[in-house]
Every structure is written in structure tokens, then in C-alpha cells.
Chains A and B, each alone.
Chain A
């Protein structure tokens, strides 16, 4: 099964390519799962009503989870199809995996690994590492990213319907415990370093304007009643900057 697993892994890199409000990741899930289903009855002839076509149809139903961990569900459902598990049970497995895989991936990657590596890269640029910071970010981030995708697919394929045991893997628990403080530390260090990097070339009066923008921006964004987003704050400040500059003439 080595070649189909590699094909599925490669297709998983496109799993969000057809993301939509109807089935979310469903279509991408189905496309990624298909190489693992080619051993099922009817795969060669592709006749209607065969086990293969039934599995492909199920694969493309609604699904949503973190894209890096999607492989866990793909592997598990493909294994379940091979094991002859009832279609209704496979559907229930997919539904049951959406929440945990989404929440685990969001915590581990979007709120942990990504801001951690981004914070380190920001600090490195501010410290003068230039290009090396960017290259280092890409290499380190993707080492974790690709390792997670590979592990997810293999674990799903190995465990099938018992995939929940894979989610209790000690390495996953440890990563969760380490990545949150690491992210906090990296971002904490990056913020003053970047402030120095961006504000350093300004004159004292402009540094004051810079500091006021940072302070008032944080307050405005924390004030939930305003429901201000980053992009709206940025555009508002750009307009204010132009007015302030004009008055300063």
C-alpha cells in the first residue's frame, strides 16, 4: 500500500482546493481518499453500485477539520472501507472526527506552531538575520507541517475505526503542552524587537506617534464593543496618518 499512501499524501496537500460552503473539505477529502480505495471491488470496471463507487461517493460528503490532520480521517475511513464496515458507521466516524481534528489542529498549528515560528522569524528579521530568517521560517515550519501530515495519514490508515487511540498519542499531548508557552515566549520577544526595527529609523516625534498608534490600537482592538478588525484599524490609522501629516505641515 506504499504507493497509494504516497498518492493520497500528495493529494492531501490540495485538500482545501475545492473548499466550499456546501461540503467544506468534502470534495478534497474524496479526491485524496480515492487512491486508497482502488483495491475495493469494482474499482477497475468502475461499475455503478460497486463497493468502490459507494466509497468514493461517501468520501465526497460533507467534512471539515484542520487540513493538516485531515489525513487521519482519510486514512481511517479508507481502512474502514477495506474492513467492510457498514456505510452508516463510516459516515458516523467522519462526523465524529470533524470536531476533535478541527480543534486539535487549530490549537496545535494555527494557535501554536504557526505563531511560534512566525514570532521567531519576526524576531530574527528584527535582529538583522534578513533572508536567513525567512528561509529558516519556511524550513522549520514545514518540517513540523509535513511531519504532522505524514503521521496523520499513517495513523489513520493503521487504526481504522479505532482512530481515537491515535489522537491520544503521547507525542501529541506533549506537543500541545510545549507549543503554547513557546508561542507566548516567541511572540512576547518579537513584539519589542519589531517595534525597535520598525520605529528605530523615525525621529523622536514620529516615534511618539508610532507609540501612540500602537497603544491606542491595542486598546481599540481589545474594546469588543467596537468589533474592530485589524484591517479596519489599519485603514483608519492610514487615514488619520494622512490628516495628522497634513496638519503637521
Chain B
């Protein structure tokens, strides 16, 4: 993969990371969007969509309420698509999920650290903020957004580097058959996470709607 393409993915991962919390929360951070666009950049939309779907399923584990800590699947999906595209096939899909999960965990930790840095900056400026100085307020805000952009860029860079390293190991020759099993259980885990996440949200009055949806979806799959 060319350096230009890696740089493009890095910029996309950074925008995706910014969108998650900071600016503008238009949901380009959703794995389905992040993965599809990363796939398009690589000229491999099916892989982008497939990994986008898998991480969209993982995303259903998360309810971003209050100060809850959670993995960051946007930049992770970009890195996962890059890994899957380079390795290719079922093994690529499985390794893509592995790269994405590790990157997602690191992304989540980085958000927590960034929030602590933001808190420290606010504490330092507390006295000036109490005087109503708008310049200090705006500077604090902009600095925090830039900090988030840098953080998202670093997380994406880590994921992309991990993908390159895995590809360099030429795992395709070593794990020719394991790749299929890996892909099956990794994607299965995503579906399990989405199902459990949805069951957490579905309350008793809406259970019938959930069952109707399940039946309808299953019928569509069966009739195909």
C-alpha cells in the first residue's frame, strides 16, 4: 500500500475520531460509515462494508452516557479495513477484526487520558475563567479540540502500523486454515455483542416488536 494511501487513511481516521465526541457528531464515526469510506479509498468497498458491519455490531455494546468509558471503534475500523485489504480473504477479515479490537481498546484509553488532560487545563485556567474572560474560554476549547484531533491521528496511526506489521509477517502462509475459523468466530462475536446490546435496550413493552423483527428478518434469510 502506498504512503499516499496510508496518509489518506490517517486523515480519514483522524476526522472519524474527532466526530465521535468533539466535532460535529454527524456519525461519520459510526463503523459502517468509517469502514465503507476506508474501503472506497482502498478501492475495496466490499471489505470496507463487511468490516464496517462487524464493528457496527460491536458498537451496539456501547451507550455513550455521561462519563462512561468505552472503546473507540471509528479509527479502529479504518485500521481494520486496511489490515483486511492487505492480507485478503477470510484470514484478512479475521485479522482485521483483531486489529480493530486492539485499536479500539487503545482508542478508548486515549479518550480517557485526553479528558484528564482537558480537566488539568481547565483547573489551571479556573481563576481566569471565573473572571469571564472569553479569550481564555475559547482558547481552552480550541486547544481541547486540537488535542482530540492529535489523539485520533495517533490512534489511527497505531492501527495502520499494526496492520502493516501483521501483513509483513506473511501470516497468510502460516495461518491458511486458521483464517477461516478466525473469521467465523470474530464475526460471530460481533453479532453476539449486538444481540446482547439490543436485548439490554429492548424493554418488555417493545419485546413483541423485537420478536416481529427477528421473525421477519429470519424469514427473509430463509426465503433467499
Contacts and interface: CB of A to CB of B under 8 A. Distances in A.
Nearest to A213: B188
Contacts of A220: 192
A189 interface: yes
Nearest to A106: B65
Contacts of B148: 17
B23 A17 contact: yes
A76 interface: no
What secondary structure prevails in chain B residues at the interface with A? helix
A240 B202 contact: no
Contact of A184 (B65, B102, B143, B210): B210
Contacts of B64: 110
Interface residues of B, number: 104
Interface string B130-147: 111110011011111100
Interface residues of A, number: 107
A111 B191 contact: no
Contacts of A231: 58, 61, 71, 101, 104-105, 108
A153 B102 CA distance: 39
A244 interface: yes
A221 B129 contact: no
B122 A22 contact: yes
What secondary structure prevails in chain A residues at the interface with B? helix
Contact of A209 (B23, B145, B188): B188
Contacts of A118: 30, 32, 56, 59-60
Contact of B186 (A60, A137, A197, A241): A241
Contacts of A133: 32
B198 to A, nearest CB: 4
Contacts, number: 349
A187 interface: yes
Interface stretch (B4-12, B157-165, B171-179): B171-179
Contacts of A119: 198
Nearest to A118: B56
A157 B209 CA distance: 38
B196 A217 contact: yes
Interface string A115-127: 1001101110111
A151 interface: no
A222 B118 contact: no
B27 interface: yes
A122 B27 CA distance: 14
Given A13-B24, A18-B141, A218-B192, A126 B53 contact: yes
A238 interface: yes
Contact of A20 (B26, B119, B185, B199): B119
Contacts of A48: 131-132
Contacts of A221: 192-193, 196
B32 A16 contact: no
A186 B45 contact: no
Given A189-B213, A195-B221, A234-B189, A245 B27 contact: no
Contacts of A183: 201-202, 206
Contact of B119 (A21, A60, A180): A21
A102 B217 contact: no
A234 B121 CA distance: 35
Interface of A: 13-14, 16-24, 26-28, 30-31, 34, 46, 48, 50, 52-57, 60, 64, 67-68, 102, 106, 110-111, 114-115, 118-119, 121-123, 125-127, 130-131, 133-134, 137-138, 141-142, 145, 180-199, 202-203, 206-207, 209-218, 220-222, 229-231, 233-238, 240-242, 244-246, 248-249
Interface of B: 21-28, 30, 32-33, 36, 45, 49-50, 52-54, 56-67, 71, 94, 97-98, 101-102, 104-105, 108, 115-116, 118-119, 121-123, 129-134, 137-138, 140-145, 148, 175, 177-199, 201-203, 205-207, 209-218, 220-221, 224
14 contacts: A13-B23, A18-B122, A22-B119, A26-B122, A30-B137, A31-B137, A125-B52, A188-B212, A191-B214, A210-B188, A211-B188, A216-B192, A235-B102, A245-B178
